[in-house]
Amino acid sequence: MKPYAENRKARFEYEILETYEGGLVLSGAEVKAIREGGAKLEGSHIKVFGGRLALIGAHIRAYSKIATREGYDPDRTRTILVSKKELRLLTDKTLQKGLTLVPLSFYPVARRIKVSFALCRGKKAHDKRASLKKRDVERSIRRFDE
């Protein structure tokens, strides 16, 4: 299925080591807002707080067809649901120096909205330049083949 929102910058800024999937705890209006394209993941990250995963910095705008929007915080912290075993594993891995959890996309699974996130290590400037150079070479090869 086509994702509702993607964090395209994450693949450039970070080296992705492992990817995971989790459920999101959302209100009904937030689900509708995500389905109409009102979510942004740029600049967001995931932390382990008190035995749960928290999505921090994701912006989900208010649903457009709702009458009252007072008191709604589009940037509030949202909970990500994973199994206890996965939570223990992720907690241990994020304690290692240089590793972080970054959300990659929101996408539908049946009638639910899931978040795909990855265990990442930040890229250095020379790694980013190498990624850009590789992308340019692949683009020129595709252009030459056509």
Q: For 69-118, how does the pLDDT look when each residue is reduced to its tens digit (9 = 90+)?
A: 777 888 899 999 999 999 999 999 888 888 899 999 999 998 899 999 99
Q: Convert the pLDDT of each residue in 10-53 to its tens digit.
A: 888 888 899 999 999 988 888 999 998 889 999 899 999 888 99
Domain assignment present for residue 114? The answer is yes
- Cα 78 to the center of its chain, rounded Å: 12
- Find the mean pLDDT for residues 47-69: 86
d(C-alpha 24, C-alpha 80), whole Å: 5
d(C-alpha 83, C-alpha 142), whole Å: 42
pLDDT band at 129; cut points 50, 70, 90: confident
Structurally, the chain folds into a number of domains equal to 1
- Cα-based distances in Å from 90 to 2, 22, 101: 27, 12, 9
Domain assignment present for residue 146? The answer is no
Say whether pTM exceeds 0.75: yes
Domain assignment present for residue 139? The answer is no
Residue type at 6 in one-letter notation: E
- What's the confidence (pLDDT) of residue 53? 92
**Residue 39 belongs to domain spanning:** 5-9+18-121
- What's the confidence (pLDDT) of residue 142? 86
- Domain of residue 56, CATH code: 2.40.280.10
Residue 80 forms beta bridges with which residues? 24, 53
d(C-alpha 4, C-alpha 112), whole Å: 12
d(C-alpha 129, C-alpha 143), whole Å: 21
